[in-house]
Chains A and B, each alone.
Chain A
Amino acid sequence: MVRCSVKVGLVGSGMHFMVALFSFIFATPVLAQPTPTPSARREAAAAGRPLPLDPLSPEEQRAAEQIALADPRVRELLGTAKRQLVSVDLFARKPPEEQLQGAAVGRRIEMGRMAEVMFFRYEGEYGVRAVVDLEKKTATDVSRLESAQVPMTPADLAQAWTIALRSDEVRKALGPDVEKFQVGPGTPGAKARPQYSVEALRVGATDEKDPCFRHRCLHLLFREGDAYLMKPWVIVDLSAEKVYIERRGQ
């Protein structure tokens, strides 16, 4: 507690009080403002750039894909065979602990801006995962993934539906409305579900005798308005490009 004892003459004491009051009012916000620290200056310089864990913009996603594809390890794994970009996600790598503790007391820390890019190579059926540093424009980690670790995508669904449409049995089961069905709404950003839609769930198999064992299979679901059709039960094996109709439960 600060105590001030000031002898002020009676003459002019009102003016003194006013001056002191103004000094107090104006000095307070100025003094309360912290002196810009190096980290605050860095923060100001970084203003306008996305922070390390802000969602990736579409431009950053495209850049991440290009950086990954420029990496010789990725190119070697993907080769020239047909491939698919599966996903580009934000990736966070932990900085050194001493930096991290700074964040808890308000200091900006350098984490970089990273993305995880995943591709699928059709020939040989495997995935390629690359962790990309968007600021240094390099791929830091590259690894090969088993097929089961690579999620299937709306592009796979579209392909499965194309294969299914070659099946007379599927066409017969869906009847005259077969051509009305459209894939969706599994596509990110799709606004409305079509009246006749095809959706999919990935089928896993643990039995070696199951045709979908170690294959990329999708179970197609058919929706008309709000109702799902209970049949046909269509499984498309994208690895073998075959269509199976499951009879169970019908």
Chain B
Amino acid sequence: MKRQLWPLAVCAFGYALVLANSASAQPALPWMPCSGINLVDQAFPTSGPEQTHWRLCWEAMPKNGLVIHWAFFRPSPTARWIWIFWDARVSDIFVPYHSGSPRYYDMSGFTFPMTAVGLADCPASVGGTPLGPNVCKEVRDRGLLWKDDAKVRRGQELVLWGALDAANYNYVMEWTFRDDGMILGRVGATAVNLPTVPFETHMHNPIWRLDIDLNGFPGDSVEFGTHTEGVPTPLAATDSESSIATEGPRDWDPHSFNELHIHDATLQNGKGDPTSLHLIALPTGGLSRHDEAFTKHDFWVTRYNPSEMWASNLPTYVGTPDPVSNADIVVWYKGSIHHHPRDEDGEVTGHGFLGEALVMWTGWMIKPHNLFDRTPFYP
């Protein structure tokens, strides 16, 4: 009987090995340097077999608001995890008033705390889950991912947001990680107009510092994408990429569709096409310029330096420009909210100024290019 049993046991052992191997065909989860509520792990779609996956760390910092520390994305269950962010944060929010003063630095000027976030801000009915006292996580439908006549696919997204309590203003900092690998960063200005001059027009200029480490930190390069109409013939158009070799600024022109393209030296998709991330400005109305040198440009590229965190020092950081080709790079983007007060913002009452400016947004998106081999979520 014993002689008859051992072949069966061998067979069972073989099946067990196959099973163990098939389990390990899915790449190991990346190790993350955070835990508990500060670690967010989100697979898409939220029901059914996984197709894409985000894994990231966040932190609520009193003077920086909601900061993303690490972010990995996996474009399919069998693909390897791709490093996207080392650190992403709003570096400052510069607020000059039209008469020339005041000129506030709403983040670097004061150690403002974050506001409380509760179930009223972050209800479960919209996919919300408060993460601690200051941050909301929303996992939600985001509308159409694609549509082709009768065939259609809706998309989903993970949104983390928290708000800085900058005295009379609240600044909502929102980070969106979509099922197709897209990332959106937005800042929304809301709450009460400056009570001493509630009807004076002003700008809120958030400046983001995005430490993008595509496929790890060395070997990244940035190119400046430009679209030109009428070249080489009047009816033709051309798109070009120029290498950014050393630290410095770049300007965004709405007619040129300027973008920063972040490449890694070796990262390719399954087709062998080089992968890149395109940082695209999403201005609301326009992008401002002021007297301060750091506001004279929209994009900046610097070489990673952990002590270079202040947006207003950007001209100094690039004063002696370091090479940024095939390097560890940081990109910066300045958005603008042109706040022209209106009656909807509030009113003068016997007690003072009362009312709330509705949320006004500005931001950017990072669009993956050749990260997938084919249309994501296509049957």
Q: Which residues of A contact B (CB under 8 A)?
A: 1-2, 4, 6-9, 12, 16-17, 19-21, 23-24, 27-28, 30-32, 34, 50-55, 86-87, 89-94, 97, 100-109, 111, 129, 131, 141, 143, 149, 151-154, 185-190, 199-206, 210, 219, 221-231, 233, 246, 248-250
Contacts and interface: CB of A to CB of B under 8 A. Distances in A.
Interface of B: 1, 4-5, 7-20, 23-24, 27-36, 38, 57, 59-64, 69-70, 72, 80-83, 86-87, 99, 101-106, 108-113, 165-168, 192, 195-198, 200, 216-218, 291-292, 304, 306-307, 310, 313, 328, 348-349, 351-354
5 contacts: A105-B28, A186-B111, A201-B102, A227-B353, A229-B351
B109 A151 contact: yes
Contacts of A206: 103, 291-292
B216 A104 contact: yes
Given A53-B69, A199-B167, A202-B109, A12 B31 contact: no
Given A20-B11, A101-B216, A106-B30, A201 B38 contact: no
A54 B69 CA distance: 10
Given A31-B20, A227-B353, A90 B28 contact: no
Given A54-B36, A86-B111, A97-B216, A102 B31 contact: yes
Contacts of A52: 33-34
A139 to B, nearest CB: 14
B65 to A, nearest CB: 12
A185 to B, nearest CB: 7
A23 B105 contact: no
Nearest to B351: A227
B228 to A, nearest CB: 37
A104 B80 contact: yes
Most A C-beta atoms less than 10 A away, residue of B11, B86, B106: B11
Contacts of A189: 113
A131 B310 CA distance: 16
A9 B36 contact: no
Nearest to A20: B8
Contacts of A1: 18
A28 B110 contact: no
B33 A31 contact: no
B308 to A, nearest CB: 12
A62 B218 CA distance: 35
B371 to A, nearest CB: 15
Contacts of B112: 186
B195 A32 contact: no
A199 B168 contact: yes
Most B C-beta atoms less than 10 A away, residue of A89, A109, A204: A204
A161 B10 CA distance: 81
A86 B216 CA distance: 33
Contacts of A23: 8-9, 12-13, 16
A1 B17 CA distance: 11
| Nearest 5 pairs of A and B residues by beta carbon | A106-B28, A202-B109, A228-B195, A20-B8, A4-B11
B323 to A, nearest CB: 17
B294 to A, nearest CB: 12
A140 B165 CA distance: 32
B19 A28 contact: yes
B21 to A, nearest CB: 9
B8 A6 contact: yes
Contacts of B354: 226-228
Contacts of A231: 196
Contacts of A12: 1, 4
A8 B1 CA distance: 10
B111 A153 contact: yes
A111 B12 contact: no
Contacts of B217: 94, 97, 100
B106 A31 contact: no
Given A19-B8, A53-B70, A227-B349, A200 B111 contact: no
Contacts of A102: 31
A186 B195 contact: no
Contacts of A4: 7, 10-11, 14-15
Given A51-B34, A228-B195, A246-B196, A87 B62 contact: yes
Contacts of B200: 249
Given A9-B4, A94-B328, A246-B196, A55 B14 contact: no
Given A4-B7, A87-B62, 8 more contacts: A12-B4, A92-B86, A152-B109, A202-B110, A203-B103, A210-B101, A221-B167, A249-B196
Contacts of A6: 7-8, 11
A192 to B, nearest CB: 10
Given A28-B19, A55-B59, A104 B196 contact: no
Nearest to A107: B31
